[in-house]
Homo-oligomer: A and B are copies of this chain.
Amino acid sequence: MLQCSMLDRVNSELITETAPIQRRMHGERAKCLQRLIRLGLPVPDTVALSVPLVKAIAGGQRPDMKELLEPFGSWPVISVRASPIEAQWGGPGSILNIGMNRANEAYFASILGAEAAAALHLRFIKSFALDVARLDDEIFDIPDLTSERALEAYETEMDEAFPQEIEAQLLDVLKSMSKAWEGTTARLLRMSKGAPEDAGLGLVVQRMAFGLGKGESGAGVIQFVNSDSGDPQEVGRYKRQSQGRDALSANGEAMYLTRDDRGPSLEEASPEAFEKLQDYGAIARKGLREEMQIEFTISGGELHVLDAVRTPRSARAEIAIVTALAQDEVISKPEAVARVNPKSVPELLHQQVAPDAKRDVISVGVAASPGAATGKLVFNAAAAQTAQSQGEACILVRRETSPEDIRGMHAARGILTERGGTTSHAAVIARGLGLPCVAGASDLEIDTKGRKITTRDGRVFSEGDVISLDGTRGEALAGAVPLLEAGIGGTFQTLMDWADEYRDLGVRANADTPADAEVAAMFKAEGIGLCRTEHMFFAEDRLIVLREAIFANEVEDRRAALDRLLPMQREDFCELFEIMAGKPVCLRLFDPPLHEFLPSSRSGIREMAEAMGLSAKAVQHRIENLSEFNPMLGMRGVRLGITVPEIYDMQARAIFEAVVQSQQDGVEAVVPEIMIPLVSAKREVELVKSRIDSVAADVAAETGAHFYYKLGVMVETPRAALRAGDIATHASFLSFGTNDLTQMTYGLSRDDAGRFMSDYVNKGVFVEDPFHALDQDGVGELLKLACARGRQVRSRLTLSVCGEHGGDPDSIAFCRDIGIGYVSCSPYRVPIARLAAAQLAIRDPGDSDLSTGFEDDRDIVPD
Contact = CB atoms under 8 A, between A and B. Distances in A.
Interface of A: 628-635, 639, 642-643, 678, 680-681, 683-684, 687, 716-719, 722-723, 740, 743-749, 751-753, 755-756, 759-760, 763-766, 775, 777-779, 781-782
Contacts of A629: 631-632, 749, 751-752
Contacts of A751: 628-630
A683 B775 CA distance: 14
Contacts of A680: 745-748, 778
A763 B642 CA distance: 9
A634 B717 contact: no
B719 A775 contact: yes
A766 B681 contact: yes
Contacts of A687: 763, 765
A778 B723 contact: yes
A717 B747 contact: yes
Contacts of A777: 722-723
A441 B635 CA distance: 18
7 contacts: A633-B633, A684-B765, A717-B748, A719-B778, A722-B777, A722-B782, A744-B745
A632 B631 CA distance: 10
Nearest to A679: B747
Interface centre among A717, A723, A743 (most CB of B within 10 A): A717
B719 A752 contact: no
A441 to B, nearest CB: 13
Contacts of A633: 630, 632-633, 743-744, 746-749, 752
Nearest to A626: B755
Given A630-B751, A632-B633, A634-B748, 12 more contacts: A630-B633, A634-B752, A635-B752, A635-B755, A643-B760, A680-B745, A681-B765, A683-B766, A719-B775, A719-B779, A722-B745, A744-B745
A782 B744 CA distance: 13
Contacts of A632: 629-630, 632-633, 747, 749
A680 to B, nearest CB: 5
A188 B643 CA distance: 24
A756 B643 contact: yes
Nearest to A420: B629
B683 A747 contact: no
Kindly report how many copies of this chain are found in the complex they form together: 2
B678 A630 contact: no
A542 to B, nearest CB: 24
A680 B779 CA distance: 11
A749 B630 contact: yes
A752 B627 CA distance: 9
Given A744-B747, A747-B678, A759 B718 contact: no
B630 A752 contact: yes
B760 A745 contact: no
B718 A639 contact: no
A684 B748 CA distance: 14
A633 B719 CA distance: 17
A633 B741 CA distance: 12
A738 to B, nearest CB: 13
Contacts of A744: 633, 718, 744-745, 747
A631 B747 CA distance: 10
A680 B632 CA distance: 19
A712 to B, nearest CB: 18
A629 B779 CA distance: 22
A172 to B, nearest CB: 43
Contacts of A743: 633
A598 to B, nearest CB: 16
Contact of A642 (B678, B681, B740, B760): B760
A439 to B, nearest CB: 13
A642 B766 CA distance: 12
Contacts of A740: 747
Contacts of A643: 755-756, 759-760
Contacts of A755: 634-635, 643
A310 to B, nearest CB: 37
A778 B789 CA distance: 13
Nearest to A419: B625
Nearest to A683: B765
A681 B755 CA distance: 18
Given A642-B760, A747-B678, A777-B723, A782 B718 contact: yes
Nearest to A726: B777
A718 B749 contact: no
Nearest to A748: B633
A723 B777 CA distance: 8
A781 B722 contact: yes
A43 to B, nearest CB: 49
Contacts of A752: 628-631, 633-635
Given A719-B746, A781-B722, A759 B642 contact: yes
Nearest to A640: B756
A454 B755 CA distance: 43
Please give me the 3 A-B residue pairs with the lowest Cβ-Cβ distance, nearest first.
Answer: A633-B749, A634-B752, A717-B747
Nearest to A686: B765
A337 B120 CA distance: 102
A691 to B, nearest CB: 12
A744 B683 CA distance: 19
A683 B631 CA distance: 29
Interface centre among A632, A719, A747 (most CB of B within 10 A): A747
A576 to B, nearest CB: 28
Given A635-B755, A680-B747, A778 B718 contact: yes
Contacts of A746: 633, 680, 717, 719
Nearest to A442: B625
A743 to B, nearest CB: 6
Nearest to A593: B752
Contacts of A683: 763-766
A262 B555 CA distance: 62
A717 B745 CA distance: 6
A722 B718 CA distance: 11
A760 B752 CA distance: 29
A751 B627 CA distance: 11
